[in-house]
Amino acid sequence: MAGIYIHIPFCKQACNYCNFHFSTQQKNIPLIVEAIISEAAIRKDYISEKVETIYFGGGTPSLLTDLQIENIYLALHKYFEIDQQIEITLEANPDDITEVKLQQWKKIGINRLSIGVQSFAATDLQWMNRAHDNTMAIDSLLLATKYFENISIDLIYGTPTLTDAQWIENIEKAIALNIPHLSCYALTIEPKTALQIMIEKEQVSDVDTDQQARHFDLLLEVLESNGYEQYEISNFSKPNFRSKHNSSYWKGKSYIGLGPSAHSFNGNSRQWNVSNNALYLQSISKGIPPFEVELLTRTQQQNEYIMTSLRTKEGIDLLKLQHQFGELQTNKLLQQASKFINENLLVQTNHFLHLTNKGKFMADGIAADLFVEPS
267 found inside a domain:
no
Distance of CA 224 to the CA centre of its chain: 21
- CATH number, domain of 318, equals 1.10.10.920
Q: Which H or E run contains 211?
A: helix 209-225
131 and 32 in a common domain: yes
Range of the domain at 72: 2-250
First to last CA, the chain: 33
SS3 51: strand
Q: Do residue 356 and residue 208 come from a single domain?
A: no
* 375 residues of the chain, pLDDT tens digit each: 899 999 999 999 888 788 888 888 999 999 999 999 999 999 999 998 999 999 999 999 999 999 999 999 999 999 999 999 999 999 999 999 999 999 999 999 999 999 999 999 999 999 889 999 999 999 999 999 999 999 999 999 999 999 999 999 999 999 999 999 999 999 987 787 777 887 777 787 788 899 999 999 999 999 999 999 999 999 999 999 999 999 999 999 999 999 999 999 998 899 999 999 999 999 999 999 899 999 999 999 999 999 999 999 999 999 999 999 999 999 999 999 999 999 999 999 999 999 999 999 999 999 999 999 876
- Regarding whether 167 and 84 lie in a shared domain, the answer is yes
Query: Which H helix or E strand runs over 301?
Result: helix 298-310
Q: What is the tally of structural domains in the chain?
A: 2
Q: Give the integer Cα–Cα distance in Å for 113 and 236.
A: 15
Q: Contact 19/55 with Cβ under 8 angstroms?
A: no
Q: Is the pTM of this model over 0.85?
A: yes
Cβ 170 vs Cβ 189: under 8 Å: no
Q: Does any domain span residue 180?
A: yes
Residue 282 lies in a domain: no
Pair 362, 218 in one domain:
no
